[in-house]
């Protein structure tokens, strides 16, 4: 019998090429351990699990091991204890159950400004949250996003060039799908990079063109390295069509300076590249030395011809910052200098999915238009926001380098594992800390890293880091006999 369409050997080869380390081998193993009975740090349930080998089953019981599974592999704040902001949840709750607005006692349970906001958003819908909206999102919410961008950047924004999406990732995938025509089309992507980009480029049949960030220069980038990456790609017959920047960086956490952004935009102008600005962490800035500056603000400030010619797509989300509403799946992208016919084509493809999810559109509206001074809910909103800012102070991720001893690298090869995957698996098994190996983000040859979030509750961090350090010291002692190899 010939292979059927969904037998593995018959699948689209691009699907098989997709790799997504954030939910890869380490995450799957952590999930297995959780199912086997180890403690999930977010549930508080404690279980014992018996670890044996087949040989030990025939001889004696092995040792009992109690370990907490701490999912620091993904930026998922609420799963690690961050409480949702009250005001947006109140508004969306009223929108989901509009009959509550007709209850004469509604004011006893919801503040007046939340009631007014719910009515404001319901008036934008045709049939409430259960009805489709425009495929670009509700016009009223897109106008709120445009107003937010204008306040942030100091330049007007057109709501007709803003599309609301089911999280920023969906927007990124839609734009990459629009740009990539085949394997000879290349996308410049920073290394280390967020695996969404390598996965989506593989899925759409394009070619990833890496440019390396320099760790010793606080993960900065050199335009000369960009030129070299483009030249190397062209020598292989690849047409580089777009460049991705992740600002602030994921997994590296760096913020691009205004001067660096100007260099990048001028480079895109010279090389005729679309710039894709992943700016989803723009609220995760808790230092004054290097504030977030949007690529659009810098572009507009450069003036013609650059400000009129460089094509820019900017992305944002409700999943990060002090909102952390990952499960709501709300995002947007804004287009700058994109021809009307191209906008029409992007609209057409968005229409295939009919509508972005409606509650998430409201969350986006509330994020860009939150309570203001004088509003009833303002003080509580600011109080809750400040607590969360301290909770995530510094950034959402850390990306330390692991200096693995040669014996550890040899042991990884014997086990059929990439060295940093080997290290992270050992860390998971010993401590329950689930991280992501640096190889999933890309790194220089011979270097090894891991990415961890710093989202666990502040009071839990000392114990987590003590466990991390104890494991690392023992690992280095096992494979080298001394602890001189690791930065951790």
* Site of tokens 């989901």: 96
Q: What is the DSSP letter of 214?
A: B
Task: Return the percentage of the chain with pLDDT > 70, whole number.
Answer: 78
How much is the pLDDT for 42?
A: 41
Helix axes 139-153 and 295-302, enclosed angle (nearest 10): 60
What Cα–Cα distance (Å) separates residue 21 from each residue in 290, 405, 409, 438? 29, 23, 20, 9
How much is the pLDDT for 28?
A: 65
List Cβ neighbours of 63 (8 Å cut-off, separation of 6 or more). 51
- Give Cα 223 distance to the centre of its chain: 25
| Separation between Cα atoms, residue 470 and residue 432, nearest integer Å | 13
- Residues 86-119 have pLDDT tens digits of 999 999 999 999 999 999 999 999 999 999 999 9
Based on DSSP, count helices (H) and strands (E) in the chain, helices before strands.
19, 15
Residue 4 pLDDT exceeds 90: no
Judging by beta carbons within 10 Å of its beta carbon (0-12, 13-18, 19+), is residue 160 exposed, middle or buried?
A: middle
Looking at mean pLDDT, say which of 273-277, 349-353, 453-457, 463-467 comes out highest: 273-277
What is the average per-residue pLDDT within 267-295?
A: 86
What is the average per-residue pLDDT within 20-33?
A: 61
How much is the pLDDT for 468?
A: 75
Average pLDDT value for the chain? 81
Q: Cα-Cα-Cα-Cα dihedral of 129, 131, 134, 138, to 10°?
A: -20
What is the average per-residue pLDDT within 155-168?
A: 96
Q: What is the DSSP letter of 10?
A: G
What is the average per-residue pLDDT within 269-287?
A: 86
How much is the pLDDT for 114?
A: 96
- Residues 420-444 have pLDDT tens digits of 888 888 888 887 777 777 776 777 7
List Cβ neighbours of 35 (8 Å cut-off, separation of 6 or more). none
Pair 370, 362: CB distance under 8 Å: no
Q: What confidence category does residue 208 fall into, taking pLDDT thresholds of 50, 70 and 90? A: very high
Question: Is the pTM for the entire model greater than 0.85?
Answer: no
Paired with 178 in beta bridges are none
How much is the pLDDT for 79?
A: 64
Q: Is 11 left (phi over 0), alpha (psi -120 to 50) or beta?
A: beta
Stated length of the chain: 488
List Cβ neighbours of 8 (8 Å cut-off, separation of 6 or more). none
How much is the pLDDT for 286?
A: 58
| Separation between Cα atoms, residue 15 and residue 431, nearest integer Å | 33
- Residues 212-266 have pLDDT tens digits of 887 777 777 888 999 999 999 999 999 999 999 988 877 666 788 898 899 999 9
Measured from the Cβ of residue 459, the count of other Cβ atoms closer than 10 Å reads 8
- Give Cα 356 distance to the centre of its chain: 19
Three-state SS annotation for 35-85: HHCCEECCCCCCCCEECCCHHHHHHCCCCEECCEEEECCCCCHHHHCCCCC
How much is the pLDDT for 230?
A: 95
Stronger pLDDT, 301 or 249, i.e. the higher one = 301
Pair 443, 191: CB distance under 8 Å: yes
Helix (H, G, I), strand (E, B) or coil at 335: strand
Task: Please name each of the domains of the chain with its CATH number.
Answer: 8-68+395-480 (3.90.1150.10), 124-368 (3.40.640.10)
Q: What confidence category does residue 394 fall into, taking pLDDT thresholds of 50, 70 and 90? A: very low
Pair 26, 434: CB distance under 8 Å: yes
Q: How do beta strands 185-191 and 239-246 pair?
A: parallel
How much is the pLDDT for 66?
A: 37
Q: What confidence category does residue 370 fall into, taking pLDDT thresholds of 50, 70 and 90? A: very high
């Amino acid at each position: 019998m010939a292979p059927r369409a969904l037998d593995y050997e018959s699948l689209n080869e691009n699907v098989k090429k997709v790799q997504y380390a954030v939910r890869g081998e380490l995450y799957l193993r952590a999930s297995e351990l959780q199912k086997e009975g180890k403690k999930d740090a977010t549930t508080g349930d404690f279980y014992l699990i018996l670890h044996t080998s087949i040989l030990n089953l025939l001889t004696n019981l092995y040792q009992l091991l109690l370990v907490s599974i701490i999912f620091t592999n993904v930026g998922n704040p609420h799963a690690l204890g961050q409480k949702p902001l009250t005001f947006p949840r109140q508004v969306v709750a009223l929108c989901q159950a509009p009959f509550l607005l007709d209850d004469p006692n509604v004011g006893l349970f919801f503040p007046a400004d939340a009631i007014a906001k719910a009515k404001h958003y319901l008036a934008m819908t045709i049939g409430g949250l259960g009805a489709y909206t425009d495929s670009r999102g509700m016009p009223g919410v897109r106008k709120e996003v445009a107003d937010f961008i204008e306040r942030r950047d100091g330049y007007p924004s057109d709501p007709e060039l803003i599309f609301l999406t089911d999280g920023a990732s969906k927007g990124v995938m839609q734009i990459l799908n629009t740009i990539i025509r085949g394997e000879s089309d290349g996308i410049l992507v920073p290394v280390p990079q967020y695996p969404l980009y390598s996965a989506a480029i593989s899925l759409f049949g394009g070619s990833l063109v890496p440019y390396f960030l320099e760790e010793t220069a606080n993960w900065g980038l050199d335009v000369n390295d960009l030129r070299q990456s483009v030249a190397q790609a062209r020598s292989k017959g690849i047409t580089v069509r777009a460049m991705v920047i992740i600002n602030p960086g994921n997994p590296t956490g760096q913020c691009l300076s205004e001067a660096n952004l100007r260099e990048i935009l001028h480079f895109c102008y010279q090389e005729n590249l679309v710039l894709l600005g992943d700016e989803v962490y723009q609220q995760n800035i808790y230092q004054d030395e290097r504030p977030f500056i949007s690529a659009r603000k810098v572009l507009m400030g450069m003036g013609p011809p650059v400000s009129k010619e460089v094509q820019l797509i900017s992305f944002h989300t409700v999943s990060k910052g002090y909102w952390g509403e990952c499960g709501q799946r709300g995002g947007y992208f804004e287009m700058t200098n994109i021809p009307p016919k191209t906008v029409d084509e992007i609209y057409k493809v968005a229409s295939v999915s009919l509508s972005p999810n409606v509650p998430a559109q409201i969350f986006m509206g509330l994020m860009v238009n939150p309570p203001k001074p004088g509003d009833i809910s303002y003080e509580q909103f600011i109080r809750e926001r400040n607590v969360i800012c301290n909770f995530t102070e510094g950034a959402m991720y850390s990306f330390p380098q692991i200096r693995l001893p040669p014996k550890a690298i040899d042991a990884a090869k014997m086990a059929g594992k990439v060295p940093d995957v080997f290290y992270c698996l050992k860390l998971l098994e010993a401590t329950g800390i689930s991280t992501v190996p640096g190889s999933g983000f890309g790194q220089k040859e011979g270097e090894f890293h891991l990415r961890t979030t710093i989202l666990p509750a502040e009071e839990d961090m000392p114990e987590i880091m003590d466990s991390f350090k104890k494991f690392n010291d023992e690992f280095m002692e096992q494979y080298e006999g001394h602890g001189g190899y690791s930065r951790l």
